Structure formats: structure tokens, C-alpha cells
Amino acid sequence: MSLRSILELLANGRISVDEAESRIRLFALEKIGEKIRLDIGREYRIGIPEIILAEYKDFEALREAILKTLEKRSRAIVTRLREDQRSIIESFRDGYNVYMSSTGRIAVVKKKDFKVEFWGGRIGIVTAGTADVPIAEEVKVIVEEFGCKAFTIYDAGIAGLHRAVEALKFFHENDVDVVVVIAGMEGALPSVIKSLTDLPVIGLPTSKGYGFGGGGQAALLSMLQSCTPGLVVVNIDNSVGAAVAAVSIALRVAKFRERGG
């Protein structure tokens, strides 16, 4: 039963307000065994559905989480897939449309009749190096699944500063609403980009750096200690957090753009 069908029953007088409230509460939560409770109603509250974190789930729990999500919604987004979990995603190909990134650890399983609606948000995504591309691809998949258009520039790190300027010019030409800047190593690119634009900038450190301060620690600290005011930062490799923040900004901007404000 969908939320719409519950509201239709209420509007037609076939159920009481109390019964409708009870059904909506049940609709919003799906329990799987004793360990997993899917927040099915999240999309109605904040506009963003629950995204399934695969990394720490066993095969059966992951499969059940995807199935239950597809029962209630038309799409399941799965992140941080382990290599040995990819076969679980492949098993859905017979009955669903399946996308599984060849570089990022992300997959999307959709009902065959599901279509993503473009809501007008425009998001720039730039990486410092090619090693950061898998994280960028995860961001790209998520923002596109949530109805925004992604504009990507890869390998624009500060070792060749003119590349960062080129990326920024590209974003302004395409009138993006927000930029996600992805960098490992010293993590300086987000500060540079933010120092040159009035656009909101989200810094996303990656774990691709090595040696002392490697694993994204130096990149994260650099972004947190930025001298450029207004730079916001998510945790290391947090592609979901960066993407959802960017979508929230872009969709809000799109509403005002549509009104002509």
C-alpha cells in the first residue's frame, strides 16, 4: 500500500483519521528481522530516500533490504558495495533495471517503469586527480538519481592551477547552483575553488593520499583549516553526504529559478 492510497481511503471516508495515522506510521518503517529497520518514509519528510549502506551487511541482509525497498518504493540505491557483494546486485537484472558503477562502489536497482524526473538542479563536480574519480562517480550517480543535472570536470588539481580556473569557468558557463570539490593528497583544491567564486562549495576529502597524513587525513584537516570563508566540508570519502547536501541546495535554488525569483 502506498501513501497515496492511504490518503485516498481517508478522503473517501473509508478509514478514520486514527486509522490513517496508524497506517502511515507503519508505512514509514519496514522491519527486516531484528537488525534492520528501513526508513521508508524518509523521502516524504526530507525529499531524499534512505540509501542502503552495503559494506557491513551480509548477503541475505543486503538482498532483503533491496527487496523491501523495492516493494515500497520504485528504486533502491546501494552504496559502499564490497567486491563480493556485486553478485547480489547482478541477481536483480532479470526483473529490474540495474546500474552498477565500474569504478565507484555504488549501484541502483529500479523497477522497469521508473523514470527519474529532472527538477532543475544543476551541480558541478570536480576532482583534483584521477584517483578521486571513483568517489566523484558516486556523487554523480546520486545527484542524477535525485533529479539534478551533473557537470563534471576531472583531474583539475592545483599542481596545474590553470586547470582549476578552467573548471570554474565551465561551471559558471553552465550556471551551476553548487560545486562539489573532491580531493585527496593535500586537499587544497576546495579552498582554491571557493576563493574564486560566490557559489556554495562542498569539500569532499578522499582517502587516496599516502604516507604521513595519508588516507585522507591531511586532506580533511586542510579543508577544515581553510582560510577561505564559506567552504563546507564532509567526512573522508563521504560521497553520499556531499551529494545529498548539494542536491538540497540545488533543488532549493531550482524552485526560486522556476518562480523567476
Structural domains in the chain, sorted by start:
21-110 (no CATH), 121-259 (3.40.50.1970)
Band (51; pLDDT cuts 50, 70, 90): confident
Instruction: Give the Cα separation of 238 and 135 in Å (integer).
Output: 8
Q: Which grid coordinates are listed for 171?
A: 561551471
What radius of gyration do the chain's Cα atoms show?
A: 20
Band (32; pLDDT cuts 50, 70, 90): low
% of the chain beyond a pLDDT of 70: 90
Average pLDDT of the segment spanning 206-227: 94
Band (49; pLDDT cuts 50, 70, 90): confident
Which residue is it, cell 529559478? 257
Average pLDDT of the segment spanning 62-72: 87
Instruction: Give the Cα separation of 179 and 126 in Å (integer).
Output: 8
Band (119; pLDDT cuts 50, 70, 90): confident
Average pLDDT of the segment spanning 169-198: 95
pLDDT at 31 over 60: no
Q: What is the pLDDT of residue 30?
A: 60
Which residue is it, cell 551529494? 243
Residue 142: CA count within 13 A, CB half-sphere: 31
Q: What is the pLDDT of residue 230?
A: 94
pLDDT at 45 over 70: no
CA 152 to chain centre: 15
Band (37; pLDDT cuts 50, 70, 90): low
Instruction: Give the Cα separation of 186 and 206 in Å (integer).
Output: 10
- The count of other CB atoms within 10 Å of the CB of residue 135 is 29
Average the pLDDT over each of 12-16, 40-44, 247-251 and give the range with the smallest value: 40-44
Average pLDDT of the segment spanning 233-259: 92
Residue 101 β-bridge partners: none
Average pLDDT of the segment spanning 93-115: 90
Band (74; pLDDT cuts 50, 70, 90): confident
pLDDT at 20 over 90: no
Average pLDDT, the chain: 89
Average pLDDT of the segment spanning 210-237: 95
